[in-house]
Amino acid sequence: MFEVRYTDLAARIGRLETPHGSVETPAFVPVVHPVRQTISPQFLKKMGFDLVITNAYITFRHYGDEARKRGIHDIIGFDGSVMTDSGGYQVLEYGSVEVEPAVMAQFEKDIKSDIPIPLDKPTGYGLPYEKASEYVRITLENCKKTLEVVGETDAVWVGPVQGAEHYDLVEHSARALDAMGYQLMALGSPVEVMEAYEFATLARMIARYKKAIPAKPIHLFGAGHPLTIPLAIALGCDMFDSASYMLYAKDDRYMQPQGTARLADLAYLPCQCPVCSSYKLDELRSLPKDQKTIEVAKHNLHVLKAEVDTCKQAIMDGRMWEYAVQKARAHPKLMEAVQLFGGSEFEFMADNTPAFKEKAIFFFDPVDQHRPEARRFRQMASAFKSAKKKLVLFPEGEVHPFYSTRGFKELAKKFPDAQVAAYNPFLGVIPAEISDVFPASHNLTSRLARKIDDYPSFTESLDAFLANNSFDEVIVVADDFMKQAKLKARVEDYHSDHVIDRL
């Protein structure tokens, strides 16, 4: 049902099978209005969108039995895969809908939705814990009733995970839906979190879900901003829907890779999509309102699709970390989320990061010490056990592996009985014997002045390496970075009668 083809961080390129064909993920899923869609679904299909989402509740209220006869694909005029929201958005906006969960479930089955969503009770953002817990309970009851009603089906039913910033409720909701047998999960209530720019909260919501259910595909409701998409993909989200392309266009908001801008504030059209290639800026601004909205919406769709495709290429190239961090620098609140990646709750990001990559990884500044490849190497080096009683530490250069350098050969000749190791602010201690292991063998570090206090992972791995060995003497060629490490005191903590010489 869901096949993963390539991975990097928690990001993955996969294939989701539905009754109307397969959908490659990560996938942006455009929202299509079932009654008055401005941009035709045929245009979306031609652009390359194989999956759209529409509102089953509005379809139910407007079409009724006609929709049961025709099916949702005919109603909206789309021959690809169709996902249907059963009214959860209306519940979030208005508090309730005039339909029972069982009736809605049967309707979604009758209209042959490929990826139907049970009628849930979204928790939103900022809800007191007791109320959020009650909404989770109602959602789980509705989801259980839904499966009882629909029985055997080819559709991929979605388990809506609620709880928002109450992370234990997110985990409880996810585990309960998984136990019911839902094949695809969807993280509910993120829109208000994203509107508040609480991206760190969003990251923790996703991380708590991934802790509970690491393998099943996950959909993120309402993620339709080009800056949010790389963060969501890096954390393992496979699909995300939004009507942002049209809502922004109605407000004359022009999407760009680094954010959005008011059309009136632009001096140029910094894009070469078919829309922007067809108009001069003044021509686009002077179009009649309805036509201008359509053209800007089409441009916005191109930007969103390009963002997803760029993320896919980054996954293929093993560059998802570099790309996600690069995009996060466009807004301080996004960087707050990325800074969390060093915490234990985000260790799952290492699980699907390849052990080896064809291209060198890049180290720029302190945040990069948390990338999975560096963490994995530090753990290996910290556990390295040497039989030798003398340690020589040498700053890593740009030639890899370390044992092939002139510096190593000179040290090995001068200290034939010593354990020789390089050191790097991001990778920690690099024993010569494992300096040909990725990424010690394949990295490029920017030459910047660094404060050791910004690299706690370095001092932690250095301490672990010293504690795991019994060196009688430690000799260090200390660069400016290592001079801050107070290495003499560190060694004496483990071997009180030993001395360090700095060459």
Looking at 164-257, list the stretches that DSSP marks H as alpha helix, in order from N- to C-terminal side. 167-180, 191-195, 199-212, 228-234, 244-250
> What is the C-alpha R_g of the chain?
27
Tokens linked to 395: 């700053």
Q: How far, in Å, are 113, 252, 475 from residue 56 at the CA level?
A: 9, 28, 71
| Three-class SS state of 292 | helix
Contact between residue 392 and residue 415 where contact means Cβ atoms under 8 Å apart: yes
Cross-strand partners of 24:
15
For the question of residue 85 being annotated catalytic, the response is yes
Neighbours of 276 (CB within 10 A): 21
Q: Any idea of the CA torsion for 205, 208, 209, 210, to the nearest 10 degrees?
A: 120
15-37: string of b/e by CB count within 10 Å (b at 16+)?
A: ebebebeebbbbbbbbbbebeeb
Contact between residue 25 and residue 239 where contact means Cβ atoms under 8 Å apart: yes
Helices and strands, counts by H and E, the chain? 21, 20
52 φ/ψ angles, rounded to the nearest 5 degrees: -125, 165
Tokens linked to 301: 């769709």
Rounded Cα distance between 382 and 136, Å, is 43
Q: How far, in Å, are 91, 97, 151, 188, 386 from residue 104 at the CA level?
A: 13, 10, 14, 18, 66
- The amino acid occupying position 444 is L
Candidates 8, 50, 65, 85; catalytic one: 85
Ordered DSSP codes for 466-483: HHTS--SEEEE---HHHH
Place of tokens 């942002």: 244
Cross-strand partners of 422:
394, 430
- Total residue count of the chain as it appears in this document: 503
Tokens linked to 481: 């970075």
Catalytic residues: 85
